[in-house]
Amino acid sequence: MNALRAAAAMALLGVAAVAHALPSFNEVRRNWQPSDTTVVDRHGEFLQRLRTDATVRRGQWVALQDVSPALRTAMLLSEDKRFHEHSGVDWRAISAAAWGNLWNTRTRGASTITMQLAALLEDEGGFLQRGAGGRSVPQKLGQAVAAQRLERHWRKDQILEAYLNLVPFRGEVVGIDALSRTLFGKAAHGLDEREAAVAAALVRAPNARPRVVSQRACGVLKLMQAGTPVDCAGLDMFATASLPQRSFDASEGIAPHHARRLLTAATKAGATMPTTVNSTLSAPLQRFGVQTLQRHLRELRGRNVHDGALVVLDNASGEVLAWVGSSGEMSAASEVDGVLAQRQPGSTLKPFLYAQAIAERRITAASLLEDSPTNIPTAGGLYIPQNYDRLFKGWVSARTALASSLNVPAVRTLVMVSPDAFHRQLKTIGLPLRESGGYYGYSLALGSAEVSLLSLTNAFRTLANGGRYGPVGSRPQALPAIDPRAAYIVGDILSDANARARTFGTDSILATRFWAAVKTGTSKDMRDNWAVGWSERYTVGVWVGNADGAPMWDVSGTSGAAPVWAAVMQHLHASTPSRAPAAPEGLVQARATFGDTDGGRSLEAARSEWFMAGTEQTSFAMHAPAATGTRAPLRIRAPAPGTIIALDPDIPPNRQRLTFTASGNGGRWRLDGKPLAQGTQVQWLPWPGRHVMQLTDARGKVLDEVRFEVRGAGVKSTGQAR
């Protein structure tokens, strides 16, 4: 008797606690936490879904009107036929269950949907939680009291909506949204009667074998289709095929890399995992970028190109409008974010080098630079830059050299600026290089350092904003990082289709029908290909290559990243004009003419050119005339004294020629005391050892000499020069 009194007292305490702790519908709805976070674009359109809770699979909260009528019907027929008639407890069902238990007859449980919801609303370990042997009498009493309280404070539609979102179905799956997407690959509003019957059967036995589930589902379907024959065998096959699907992708959408980056930022400092994260991306632009990149990479598949990345920035705000981190399923490393990966940018650093040289008044856009073989001595040996096509253009203007992406003039320009000064300039515009300028040396002019697509594109945004730098996501700062006049001149050069014709032709993919400036780049061994440029409103950066660093096959600046850049730019400006920027103060235009070559042909056509005030001049020639009318003394310009040449064993020896260059018209060359050739330039097949090259006049008088050393295996010289 005392034991009964104690049990009754415990039941009353438990019932009182449960009844007092029941939350409101709005509290339940507000506290719902999906196992996924949704990232939306700047207008609220879906971009990406990411799983953030690995312990359970919960989808988004689904309003009752967004649940298919078939599922609502199936759930009521299976779990609570008199749901709309009772006030929380179905006394008729309880009586039937009690009578069946008396006669040991198996009957459906008497718990209503409201009673089940009362238990679901309790925290884990609560009074109403089912034990290994089922619920005790006090627990069932508590369920009944809690259900009646729910019915007094909640509407029927709220009870059914909460139940459908909180009920566990199978394994880790909780709620109708997760079930619909996991088992059937669709939203809850799209479930048909067969799918609804399977879902209702799972509530009774979430982890039962497929055959048991299909048998129960068949019974539910017969109730739903009363008087109509039901294909239970077909339903069994359907359930058997659907039930093994335990989870849907951990991430789905069109912006996985950017979504993960935003989610990491949103949860810093222990913040609660958000249900929805807003981004600055444009979903239509992001979708176009993904499709364009994948389509172009399919066209390049035969050239061993599998990966790519793309980013679009708003010039004024710095907001990211598109972020495509990889080629998705086409890539063997789709998790690698190509927007943030560090890679060699190739010639895309040249605009900043020329801008610095112009700002420091070392050159103008019309200054003549020599594009010819050169050997530059460095602490690590001899640096011999080459052009992409292995050809040389002779004397060209800085405008032509930059627009046509000639390597040797860029290296000559870096010699004037110095690697350390250029390194400081690059850091100022947000390119945090890992090593010092001295470490990279003169190869820095050709992009030997590693940068990310995001930081490189934002650096180009600095040029778009007249030299004013601002971090990604922020407006440009007031003080310019690059002289505005130099930034304008570089932009004018990179938008000049005629200036780039030497390398890219007059009908290049880089030419747009609206104003835009662009620069391409290819890293060593064709491992990376870039196209970065800007219009009046946008800056777009594209990279293509391979995530594992494998070289591409015969991919140039115009066949690699440039077509994607051009397509995205065209999409952005389909209905938006792009006008050339206004020239800043301190610039003047003057007509520039270029001196004749030895053959009597002008080096470049005369044109109107931009100059920083005070640097303008009208005539440019290969050699300025001597003031006294006398000829300058002959000197050996390259190689430098003390140069050490290391022969590469992987290159055929007869392909490794050393070039000697003299100033003026040259003279007679003598190697190790023996006549070799005459003229301004001579090439020699190197032979290991220490050597002396002398430049003499016609009478044999030594005018200049250099001592150098060749190391490694070679082919014996025949004494013939070429």
Q: What is the pLDDT of residues 435-490, one digit of tens each?
A: 999 899 988 999 999 999 999 999 999 999 999 999 999 999 999 999 999 999 99
- Number of DSSP helices (H) and strands (E) in the chain, helices first: 22, 29
DSSP-derived secondary structure for 164-197 = HHH-EEETTEESHHHHHHHHSSS-GGG--HHHHH
- Tens digits of residue pLDDT in 602-617: 789 999 999 999 999 8
* pLDDT(107) > 50: no
Cα-only R_g, the chain: 38
- CB contact set of 407 (below 8 Å; sequence gap of 6+): 347, 385, 386, 387, 388, 445, 446
In the block, tokens 């020639």 appear at 621
Measured CA to CA, the distance from residue 527 to residue 655 in angstroms comes to 24
For the chain, what is the mean pLDDT? 85
> What share of the chain in percent tops pLDDT 90?
50
Phi, psi of 227 (to 5 degrees): 85, 0
Q: pLDDT (tens digit, 9 = 90+) per residue, 323-352?
A: 999 998 888 888 999 999 999 999 999 999
DSSP string, 502-552: HHH-SS-TT--SS--EEEEEE-GGG-EEEEEEE-SSEEEEEEEE-TT-PPP
pLDDT digit string, tens, across residues 633-643: 677 877 777 77
- Enumerate the β-bridge partners of residue 80: none
Looking at residue 720, what is its pLDDT? 41
| pLDDT tens-digit map of 241-281 | 888 765 556 678 999 999 999 988 888 756 677 888 999 99
Model confidence pLDDT, tens digit, residues 517-571: 999 999 888 899 999 999 999 999 999 999 999 999 988 778 899 999 999 999 9
689 neighbors 710 (Cβ within 8 angstroms): yes
Cα–Cα distance, 400 to 407 (Å, whole number): 12
pLDDT of residue 600: 56
Joined together, the tokens standing for residue 603 give: 């080096």
Checking if the pLDDT of 149 tops 50, the result is: yes
Contact between 272 and 305 under an 8 Å Cβ cutoff? The reply is no
Tell me which residue of 535, 589, 597 sits closest to 566, measured CA to CA.
Answer: 535
What confidence score (pLDDT) does residue 105 get? 45
| pLDDT tens profile 220-237 | 999 999 888 888 999 889
Q: What is the DSSP string of 86-111?
A: SSS--HHHHHHHHHHHHTT-------
**With contact defined as beta carbons under 8 Å apart, do 658 and 715 qualify?**
no
Give the amino acid at 412.
Answer: R
Q: Which amino acid is at 359?
A: A
CB 453 within 8 A of CB 257: no
Residue type, 540: V
Higher pLDDT, 143 or 158: 158
Measured CA to CA in angstroms, residue 464 lies from 457, 486, 534, 581 at distances of 10, 12, 6, 9
pLDDT for 4 equals: 46
C-beta separation of 51 from 176 below 8 A: no
DSSP 564-581: HHHHHHHHHTSS----PP
- Decide if 336 contacts 326 (C-beta within 8 A): yes
Contact 49, 253 (CB under 8 A): yes
Angle of helix 113-120 relative to helix 69-79, nearest 10 degrees, comes to 100
Model confidence, pTM: 0.76
Q: Which residue, 676, 681, 715, 679, is CA-closest to 693?
A: 676
Which among 345, 363, 346 is positioned nearest to 354, based on CA atoms? 363
Q: Report pLDDT digits (tens) over 64-80.
A: 999 999 999 999 999 88
Torsion of Cα atoms, 29 then 33 then 36 then 42, to 10°:
60
Question: In the prediction, which pLDDT does 44 show?
Answer: 95
3-state DSSP call for residue 64? helix
Q: Which two tokens stand for residue 397?
A: 């203007």
Assess whether pLDDT exceeds 90 at residue 295.
yes
Domains, the chain, in order of start with CATH, read 2-31+62-242 (1.10.3810.10), 34-53+251-274 (no CATH), 309-589 (3.40.710.10), 636-711 (2.60.40.10)
CB atoms within 10 A of CB 287: 17
Q: Is the peptide bond before 385 cis (omega within 30 degrees of 0)?
A: no
Contact 59, 247 (CB under 8 A): no
Q: How many residues does this entry show for the chain?
A: 722
Phi then psi for residue 661, to 5 deg, are -125, 140
Q: What is the pLDDT of residue 630?
A: 43
Q: Residues 656-700: pLDDT tens digits?
A: 788 888 876 668 899 999 998 888 888 888 888 899 999 888 888
Query: Are 704 and 694 spatial neighbours (Cβ–Cβ below 8 Å)?
Result: yes
Asked if the model's pLDDT at residue 185 lies above 90, the reply is no
31 vs 13: CA distance, rounded Å:
27
**From residue 83, how far is each of 80, 159, 160, 408, 696 by CA, in Å?**
5, 10, 9, 84, 111
Output the CA angle 602-605-611, nearest 5 degrees.
Answer: 115
pLDDT at 106: 45
- State the pLDDT at residue 76: 93
How far does CA 131 lie from the centroid of its chain? Answer: 50
- For 589, how many CA atoms within 13 A lie in the half-sphere containing its CB? 7
pLDDT band at 390 (very low <50, low <70, confident <90, very high): low
Q: Output the pLDDT for position 647.
A: 73
